[in-house]
């Protein structure tokens, strides 16, 4: 059996590789917790960074109970549970193995804030177990996984929200309304800038696995390797086995807004990317300088630039139309017209907030996005979501395609309908990966 046949066999077997209930209680009974007075029990998977913020947001909501915290690093669990108890008055249970979370019939919602390489499998397993999912960006580690996540959400009739919180933000929504009204003319290009200086991660060394860390579970679908001290918490972003670099880390927020502005529901057809890793002598595999350009079938362009060295800390967007352009960032948007850049309309986050109260959201920052998710969990309508899994997949794929173009050093031509790379077998292999048994994303979910 060659490697490709073996991978296909394991994928088809993957759905049964872990003991999971075929469907959770809502699927079995056909009931939904659609009453605002019914308590929704949430499990948060992954606590070290973003996951703790997930837990805090859910813990503050009425009739939402953070019932379970899960992390492969047991050292994080006591503080995580104590922090939630301070907010809600209830101490959540804790667990190290996310498979146990899936089997827990008391859990209604799973919130996934793991490393990127775990996002898809955790989401698919949760859908199969009859649970709704909030999953961080990028929703998937590769393009194959994103498609399987969509299939799982639709097959098991689950609500799956991606952590693209700008979709629920008042100032971004107002900017998109302005653009879609044609007030800049026809949009032809969007530029995304992520200039965020990051220091060296140094040279790592093989060490014993720290006490309380379940490293095999952390590796999951990734290749087997020894524990290396600078590949663990957060630095996993900068290794291809587990992360997608800065393009795949913060990039999906901005490609999502670019695609939203251009109203694109297909993939770009032509992708180019150049860059490299500069200044530091360290183990990082992903670039700290990368410029990617994506062209759609109608010729419209998206440019994504990440800059990790000392620089202005600009993080924002520029939208170019036939009559003017818009700058979006720092909680506001501004427009300019003509050769003299005459100022046009503008709006701050505070000014936009009142207009978007019909979303039935409260607060600022991440809160509206979590509120939107819980509202859709109660309504059982995926169209109530501001960032359904399909949106997340299309936006993450722009970053994955950029990374494929960077890693191969070639222009990528992508068939949007079949989600395949045209005429480049080597590049096509990067649309998926070799999965480590039994942590396999199956062909049939």
Structural domains in the chain, sorted by start? 3-165+370-387 (3.40.50.720), 168-358+392-423 (3.30.360.10)
Instruction: Give 346-404 as a DSSP string.
Output: EEEHHHHHGGGGGG---SSTTHHHHHHHHHHHHHT-GGG-SSBHHHHHHHHHHHHHHHH
The owner of tokens 């939203």 is 260
Smallest Cα–Cα separation from 156: which of 15, 254, 60, 347?
15
Query: For residues 292 and 274, what is the distance between their CA atoms, to the nearest angstrom?
Result: 7
Tell me the mean pLDDT in the region 321-350.
Answer: 96
Tell me the mean pLDDT in the region 64-73.
Answer: 98
CA angle (21 as vertex; 434, 132 as ends), nearest 5: 80
The answer on pLDDT for 14 being more than 50 is no
Least confident of 13-17, 79-83, 346-350: 13-17
Q: What tokens does 256 get? A: 């999502």
Find the helix packing angle between 367-379 and 50-59, rounded to 10°.
Answer: 60
pLDDT band at 223 (very low <50, low <70, confident <90, very high): very high
Query: For residues 247 and 231, what is the distance between their CA atoms, to the nearest angstrom?
Result: 18
The answer on pLDDT for 6 being more than 70 is no
pLDDT at 33: 72
Query: For residues 269 and 299, what is the distance between their CA atoms, to the nearest angstrom?
Result: 9
């Amino acid at each position: 059996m060659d490697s490709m046949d073996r991978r296909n066999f394991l994928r088809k077997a993957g759905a049964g590789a872990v003991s999971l209930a075929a469907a959770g209680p809502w699927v079995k009974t056909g009931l939904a917790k659609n009453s605002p007075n019914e308590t929704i029990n949430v499990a948060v998977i992954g606590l070290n960074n973003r996951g703790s913020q997930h837990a805090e947001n859910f813990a503050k909501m009425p009739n939402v109970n953070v019932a379970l915290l899960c992390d492969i690093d047991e050292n994080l669990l006591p503080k995580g549970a104590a922090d939630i108890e301070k907010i809600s008055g209830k101490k959540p249970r804790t667990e190290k193995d996310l498979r146990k979370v899936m089997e827990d019939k008391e859990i209604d919602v799973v919130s996934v804030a793991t490393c990127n390489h775990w996002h898809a499998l955790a989401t698919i397993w949760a859908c199969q177990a009859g649970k709704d999912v909030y999953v961080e960006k990028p929703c998937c580690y590769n393009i194959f996984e994103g498609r399987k996540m969509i299939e799982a959400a639709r097959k098991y009739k689950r609500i799956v929200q991606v952590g693209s919180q700008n979709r629920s933000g008042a100032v971004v929504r107002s900017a998109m309304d302005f653009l879609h009204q044609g007030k800049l003319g026809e949009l032809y290009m969007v530029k995304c800038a992520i200039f965020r200086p990051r220091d060296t991660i140094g040279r790592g060394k093989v060490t014993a696995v720290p006490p309380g860390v379940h490293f095999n579970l952390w590796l999951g679908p990734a290749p087997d390797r020894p524990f290396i001290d600078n590949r663990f918490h957060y630095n996993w972003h900068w290794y291809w086995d587990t992360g997608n670099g800065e393009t795949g880390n913060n990039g999906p927020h901005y490609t999502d807004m670019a695609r939203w502005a251009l109203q694109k529901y297909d993939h770009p057809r032509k992708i180019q990317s150049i860059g490299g890793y500069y200044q530091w002598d360290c183990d990082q595999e992903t670039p700290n300088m990368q410029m990617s350009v994506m062209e759609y079938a109608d010729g419209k362009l998206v440019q994504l630039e990440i800059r990790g060295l000392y620089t202005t800390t600009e993080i924002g967007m520029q939208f170019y139309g036939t009559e003017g352009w818009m700058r979006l960032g720092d909680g506001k948007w501004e427009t300019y017209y003509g050769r003299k850049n005459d100022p046009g309309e503008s709006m701050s986050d505070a000014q936009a907030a009142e207009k978007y109260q019909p979303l039935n959201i409260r607060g600022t920052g991440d809160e509206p996005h979590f509120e939107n998710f819980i509202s859709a969990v109660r309504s059982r309508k995926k169209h109530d979501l501001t960032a359904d899994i399909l949106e997340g997949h299309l936006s993450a794929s722009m970053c994955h395609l950029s990374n494929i173009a960077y890693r191969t050093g070639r222009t990528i031509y992508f068939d949007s309908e079949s989600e395949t790379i045209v005429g480049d077998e080597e590049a096509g292999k990067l649309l998926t990966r070799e999965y480590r048994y039994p942590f396999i994303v199956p062909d049939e979910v």
